Amino acid sequence: MAGSRGNLGKLGKAGIGAGLLSLGLILSACQHGPPDPTPAPISSPATAPGAPVHFTAQGDIGVSTGARKVLDVVAGLKPHLNLTLGDFTYKAGIEQKFCDMVTGSLGADFPYQLLTGNHESDGHDGDIEKFVQCLPNKLPGVQGVYGTQWQADAPEQNPVVRFIMVSPGIDFRDGQPLDYSKDSERWRWTADAIDEAKSQKIPWTVVGMHVPCLSIGNYGCPAGHEFTNMLIEKKVDLVLSGHDHVYQRTHQLGVGGQCPELVPASFSAGCLTDTDSTMAQGSGTVFATIGVGGVGLYNVNADDPEAGYFASSSGKNRNPALGTLHVTATAAELAARFVPAEGYTFSDSFTLQRR
């Protein structure tokens, strides 16, 4: 990732082979038996524009047996790409070891797409610059600064989903967070990416950021309540995060009418727009935290003031599970399910349907 973090121009195609120049990828079968230090890489032939997109997402990974179990799940699901939501090694100096673990499980050509977490954004527990060197962007048409703030459409031609990956609420090398305050450059970049997706009639908009705002785990709202409300106001379909080492998924939330804005650390029933597992697009936004990519889990707090917003949760003290979210996006539907790693049983699923 060369150049300044403030450069929000196009990155373009980042060193991928001709077979990866279309995002719509169908992965060939990947055999998993006893640990193999040099497993065969997963091949990635292209599919037609407008084809369904299968992706996985999780954060807070580490370099451990748990992380490898989650990677095994990802490999078995054969997604077209993985959104990695920050906090990779929890230790400085082992970036290459992490990258080798990933490529050993998924193959060197698999789009294991990075977004920095707070542990590597400022370099104290790894360096995002080094991670993006050994796990570079593998998607065509990426715009922004890969690893920090970027967007991509999938497939690149006639897309069914736009991914917008941003980094509010975490510190970088100068000890300061990037500016996502209202009407700042990064606020406008995010808002414009959402608006453009809607103007181009891309069916689904997915925003990823390391830190959540709503949580019944350990943290408050580092992402910022104004930024979070902007995502809801613009009717982003799905917001993904890590940071809290739990799985938690909200009902569909909306603002307006009985909910002028969503206020963290409180609950308003007026912000709930749909509380079953099959929801209509445009009614609100679903927030999912998947901080269960391999590291130790946190407790979930049923007495948290925000608990009424959540439809499903898993933590150290309730249905503990490592795993990944698996999402299938088509022109008509966004269907998601939590898939646990070996040895765990917790599950969750929800669907958004276009009107």
Q: What is the mean pLDDT of residues 50-62?
A: 96
Does residue 12 surpass a pLDDT of 70? no
Does residue 60 surpass a pLDDT of 60? yes
For residue 166, what is the enclosing H or E element?
Answer: strand 161-166
Does residue 120 surpass a pLDDT of 60? yes
Q: How far apart are CA 286 and CA 311, in angstroms?
A: 10
Give the single-character DSSP code of 200: T
Q: What is the pLDDT of residues 165-174, one digit of tens each?
A: 999 999 999 8
Domain chopping of the chain, boundaries:
42-353
**Mean of pLDDT over the chain:** 89
Q: How far apart are CA 80 and CA 25, in angstroms?
A: 5
Does residue 15 surpass a pLDDT of 50? no
% of the chain beyond a pLDDT of 90: 85
Q: Is the dihedral of CA 152, 154, 159, 160 positive or negative?
A: negative
Does residue 42 surpass a pLDDT of 90? no
Does residue 8 surpass a pLDDT of 50? no
**What pLDDT is attached to residue 355?**
86
Question: What residue has token string 């727009």?
Answer: 273
**What pLDDT is attached to residue 44?**
38
* CATH code given to domain 42-353: 3.60.21.10
Does residue 236 surpass a pLDDT of 80? yes
Does residue 35 surpass a pLDDT of 50? no
Q: How far apart are CA 134 and CA 126, in angstroms?
A: 13
Return the closest-CA partner of residue 132 out of 283, 281, 11: 11
**What pLDDT is attached to residue 174?**
85
Q: What is the mean pLDDT of residues 275-289?
A: 97
8 CB-near residues (< 8 Å, 6+ apart): 143, 144, 145, 149, 185, 186, 189
Q: What is the mean pLDDT of residues 83-90?
A: 98
Q: Residue 189 class from Cβ within 10 Å (0-12 exposed, 13-18 middle, 19+ buried)?
A: middle
**What pLDDT is attached to residue 57?**
98
Q: What is the mean pLDDT of residues 1-10?
A: 38
- What is the band of 3 on the pLDDT scale with cuts at 50, 70, 90? very low
**What pLDDT is attached to residue 50?**
81
Which residues are paired to 196 by β-bridges?
none
